[in-house]
Amino acid sequence: MGEIVAARRVSKVFKTGKGAVEALRDIDLTIDPGEFVSLIGPSGCGKSTLLRLVGDLLTPTAGELVVNGKTPAQSRLDHDYGIAFQKATLLDWRTAIENVELPLELMNVGRDQRRARATEMLEMVELGEFVNANPWQLSGGMQQRVAIARALALRPPLLLMDEPFGALDEMTRESMQQELLRIWRETDTTIIFVTHSIPEAVFLSTRVVVMASRPGRIVDSMPVDLSHPRGVDTREDERFYTTLTEVREALRGR
């Protein structure tokens, strides 16, 4: 106990018309509460698949997976995690605040409490002035922030993020990273974060998990020794660069 995610020899094979695809083989991974873990690896190495297994959006073919001390299915039913993926996927018939209220609605939280919580979440992502905006009136970065507010609305112990900033420009991306770190420090959420960007992984994480493909597997797990709070200075820190290099080498297979 104690770990929020514990995977033991987890494998996932997709059966398709053209045969079987071994997406993940023998994944061993434990994540402690409060960690910020990035998954990084070449395209198709199974990062999204691993995240979906944890979220019970897929089931493992073999192995044992425990999330928050329960089966992934039970954790999902208990609303133990929030998801934020590359597409914001806001419902365009709902305003920003109504989108954030959705998970609360599905949990049967009362109307007033819902409003209050959703307002608080939107203020946290600095969209306090846009509570009543329609999704199509928001920029891509703002939509993504609404999606993050929605994922956090239930104060889940675990946040699953799959390239949430992938579609954003560099400037927006950096400020969103900053904001995410602040939120992570303010709440006691554990975050699993999939990214293709080495600097992003290093800047955000307490640990970077490096994966390789064919079959998808974990090749390295490297702690990031950078102090918090992190900011502009962090990106100029010498240790930031040495960690970048280490991760890059791990990705190349050294």
Ligand X SMILES: Nc1ncnc2c1ncn2[C@@H]1O[C@H](COP(=O)(O)OP(=O)(O)OP(=O)(O)O)[C@@H](O)[C@H]1O
List 3, 13, 21, 119, residue binding ligand X (CB under 6 A): 21
- Per CB under 6 A, does 218 bind ligand X? no
Shortest Cβ 21–ligand X spacing (Å): 5
The contact set with Mg ion (CB under 5 A) reads: 48
Residue 106 binds which entry of ligand X, Mg ion, another protein, none, CB below 5-8 Å type-dependent: another protein
Q: Which residues pair with 159 in a beta bridge?
A: 82, 191
Shortest Cβ 102–another protein spacing (Å): 7
Give, in degrees to the nearest 5, the angle at Cα 197 between 193 and 201: 45
- Per CB under 6 A, does 108 bind ligand X? no
Shortest Cβ 76–Mg ion spacing (Å): 20
Residue that has been written with the tokens 């939509």 in this structure: 143
Query: Is the torsion defined by CA of 123, 128, 131, 137 positive or negative?
Result: negative
Using CB under 8 A as the binding criterion, the count of chain residues that bind another protein stands at 23
List 45, 90, 153, 218, residue binding ligand X (CB under 6 A): 45
Nearer to another protein, 90 or 201 (CB): 90
- Per CB under 8 A, does 65 bind another protein? no
Residue 44 binds which entry of ligand X, another protein, Mg ion, none, CB below 5-8 Å type-dependent: ligand X
Shortest Cβ 135–another protein spacing (Å): 8
Residues 101-120 that bind another protein (CB under 8 A): 102-103, 105-107
- Per CB under 8 A, does 132 bind another protein? no
Nearer to another protein, 76 or 182 (CB): 76
Q: Which residues bind ligand X (CB under 6 A)?
A: 14, 16, 21, 23, 43-49, 216
Q: Which residues bind another protein (CB under 8 A)?
A: 55, 57, 76-79, 81-83, 85, 87, 89, 91-93, 102-103, 105-107, 134, 136-137
